[in-house]
Amino acid sequence: MMRSNSSTFDTTLLSLIFIYIGIGIIILYSGTDQNIPTLMRQLSRLSCGIFLMFMASLINPRDLNEMGTVFFFLSIIILLAVYLFGSSGKGAQRWLDIGVIKFQPSEIVKLTLPLALASWLDFRTNTFTNHFISFSILAIPCLLILIQPDLGTAILIGSTGLIMILISGLPSYMIAMCIGFAITAIPYAWFNILHDYQKARIITFLNPGHDSMGAGYHIIQSKIAIGSGGFAGKGWLNGTQSHLFFLPEHATDFIFGIVGEEFGFIGTTFIILLILAITYRVLMIAHKIDKPYERYVCCGLITNFFLGSIINIGMVIGIFPVVGVPLPLISYGGTHAWILLISLGIIFSMIRSYISR
């Protein structure tokens, strides 16, 4: 599956990614309370992920396209494995422990499902049956993730897949059917699928002060952290909300609160602009790619990055419910960093294939 073609990387995109990772390391040093061993573990994970990114960039897109069915069934198998062999964490059964590594299979599906869906969208014709199959390819893994339960990842993957289906071309009557289905599915999900703690998070999102020392504590403390940073922030390592442990999960899900507190409006704006720049660069190139499969892959994988960032930031500033989605490449953790860097490597592969033609 490796190619000998050594087409040049898109240096603009590569530079943006490395700047983003570098700033993330600086933020994480504060987020880990200046814990060197913890930071070194994350640095080793990122180094491994960058190596995997460069290796993934050498994969031939044609080979990936031919493996679409394999990727779909791989998504299903690893999600089913959670129920047979998985371990619990934070009230949910989401982890697989194979001795040398413990990981969340739902993170892997962020990579395999867009690849599988892109293969089908490239192959299928514009018929009702084929559109139904497209939604089925998306819905089955999302439902398996939702009942783990992992609402945040299910929303992220589901939204990414829907965007891929929309850009591939969807008749207006199908769009109307999707809207109608969503309207009827929301109350059903509320009463039959969502767990009590997930409902509590949504209710708390609407009124955080209702349970300020319980379900609303995370949102209130993150708002205090961001608000206290003002325009320029308190300075690196000078955040009180995080270092005095008022801000929960400040190395993982709520690390953006540290950005707001220590670097202020300037820092948060810069991070958001970097995210937008990376996303725009990929979409701009994807728009020019003449092969539908390669275009769908680029759009799907970068949408994962963009939506993951938006959901996390929205969660921290209180405009989205708390759903446990990390800030890509900045939050502490291995699996999500590896998967995203491999995804970026595959995007580079698509770009190199386009440039070499």
Query: Predicted confidence band at 2 (pLDDT cuts at 50, 70, 90)?
Result: very low
Q: What is the pLDDT of residues 209-222, one digit of tens each?
A: 666 666 678 888 88
Q: Is residue 18 scored above 90 in pLDDT?
A: yes
Prediction pTM value:
0.90
Per domain, the residue ranges of the chain are 11-356
Q: What is the pLDDT of residues 333-343, one digit of tens each?
A: 888 999 999 99
Q: Is residue 143 scored above 50 in pLDDT?
A: yes
Average pLDDT, the chain: 87
Q: Is residue 5 scored above 50 in pLDDT?
A: no
Position 186 scores a pLDDT of 81
What is the percent of the chain with per-residue pLDDT over 90, rounded to a whole number? 50
Query: Predicted confidence band at 267 (pLDDT cuts at 50, 70, 90)?
Result: very high
Position 194 scores a pLDDT of 78
Q: Is residue 92 scored above 80 in pLDDT?
A: no
Q: What is the pLDDT of residues 150-200, one digit of tens each?
A: 888 999 999 999 999 998 888 777 878 888 887 888 888 887 777 777 777
Q: What is the pLDDT of residues 42-79, one digit of tens each?
A: 999 999 999 999 999 999 999 999 888 888 888 889 88
Q: What is the pLDDT of residues 339-357, one digit of tens each?
A: 999 999 999 999 998 888 6
Q: Is residue 90 scored above 60 in pLDDT?
A: no
* The two three-digit tokens of residue 261, written as one number: 């507190």
